[in-house]
Structure 1
């Protein structure tokens, strides 16, 4: 379970008092559950994800408690937190083939040898009908293929939780529903607690949160 308690994020203003960006009193995301945070650009959705991921927050300050499976991870590095991230664009190294991206994703934690890692990745690609893309570079993939392989690499890294930052907004309308449904199914089957941020209600899934006029994140 991914748990956030008493989170406040401030925007640091030069020459004046810091401005409250958002506040989140309490959030529990169960294994396999997707919780959606909705709101227009500028309300702090992506900043919240970066705080959970453990990235530096220049021009912002944040205080709060973050636990994953009852372990305090608030002071851990990005790598130690074991939280995956799927972006609107990006996620695959452009100078690496699909094979190299899949193997790199497994490198930090997998106990398998290189051959077994390749077989595992190829098996997962085969379930998507994308095993023929093994030696292709990301720029040659379609939007739907890129999104699927990006999530596959994130799963190969064995995350304990997942963050999704507008992951479907760049997809064509005829691909979006298919990729979205497949993504949510994979997260459910792997029992990964997931926080999704979006401004598009059609992409929302599960429990929906919004930021009210007092900058507080509340149930929609």
Structure 2
């Protein structure tokens, strides 16, 4: 039986979607990780995905970037449906930046070289233009003074900010974040969240998987709560945190908010 999704926002009032997920299904062997997931994200909207571990949050955003291939339903990103055609997939990936839990920086490249690589290889920028763009975005995330260092010489928080700058160097229309602070020491979390807040303020379309509920309250247009591979509830932050509609959401918030 399909799980009824309780929607606390007016779908008809939203502008056209830059990301549209319809009836999404993802299986790993006999395990169904996502079941009949529907999500619409407008350009400039900030979505926070939350829920218990194993609820399907990370799998959902990995499907949106086609890191994971979905088994059913439709995903349309910036007008392009992900059907398995590599031309479409590569085109979408050029427009979608992703930041993971692990930093995934190339250890043999300097900070600025990490940021220059994709714009030169994928976008065709000259080395001079790629360097100028990289330095500008490293300055934006307040780490340009480390441009010539190597990842091993940086703290975890600094490496994650470099990872964000690297994604931004491709000038994406959408940014996906998969628990970007979960691998960081507590004192490093704020510097990464501050960078993400600045991106949100600039109008970037963002879909974030995070347990940082203070961040969700501050920047989210919508909080989407997932459990057991389905969207159970979604609402604006004030409504979600003040009066969650489902018992599962109430239990989740009771465990993480003290």
CA-CA distance at 1:209 after TM superposition = 1.3
2:152 aligned partner: 139
Cα distance, 1:76–1:151 mapped onto 2, change above 3 Å? farther
Residue of 101, 106, 120 corresponding to 1:107: 120
RMSD over equivalenced CA pairs, Å: 2.4
1:69 aligned partner: 78
Residue of 189, 201, 205 corresponding to 1:193: 205
Q: Is the 8 A contact 1:32 1:188 kept in 2?
A: no
Structure-2 separation of matches of 1:72 and 1:111: 25
1:219 aligned partner: 233
1:16 aligned partner: none
Structure-1 separation of matches of 2:43 and 2:147: 30
Residue of 25, 30, 33 corresponding to 1:8: 25
CA-CA distance at 1:84 after TM superposition = 1.5
User: How does the TM-score come out when normalised to structure 1?
Assistant: 0.82
2:91 aligned partner: 80
Map residues 43-54 of structure 1 onto 2, 5 A cutoff.
43-54=55-66
1:91 aligned partner: 104
Q: Secondary structure at the match of 2:33?
A: strand
CA-CA distance at 1:76 after TM superposition = 4.1
Structure-2 separation of matches of 1:181 and 1:34: 15
Within the alignment, does 1:27 sit opposite 2:36 as a pair? no
Structure-2 separation of matches of 1:174 and 1:201: 16
Residue of 217, 225, 238 corresponding to 1:210: 225
Q: Secondary structure at the match of 2:43?
A: coil
Map residues 123-138 of structure 1 onto 2, 5 A cutoff.
123-138=136-151
Structure-1 separation of matches of 2:39 and 2:212: 21
Structure 1, unaligned runs of 5 or more: 14-18
Structure-1 separation of matches of 2:214 and 2:191: 13
Cα distance, 1:25–1:49 mapped onto 2, change above 3 Å? closer
CA-CA distance at 1:178 after TM superposition = 3.5
Q: Secondary structure at the match of 1:176?
A: helix
User: How does the TM-score come out when normalised to structure 2?
Assistant: 0.72
Map residues 138-157 of structure 1 onto 2, 5 A cutoff.
138-157=151-170
Structure 2, unaligned runs of 5 or more: 1-17, 235-258
Q: Is the 8 A contact 1:40 1:199 kept in 2?
A: no
Equivalences, count: 210
Q: Is the 8 A contact 2:52 2:227 kept in 1?
A: no
Task: Report which stretch shifted further, 194-203 or 41-50.
Answer: 194-203
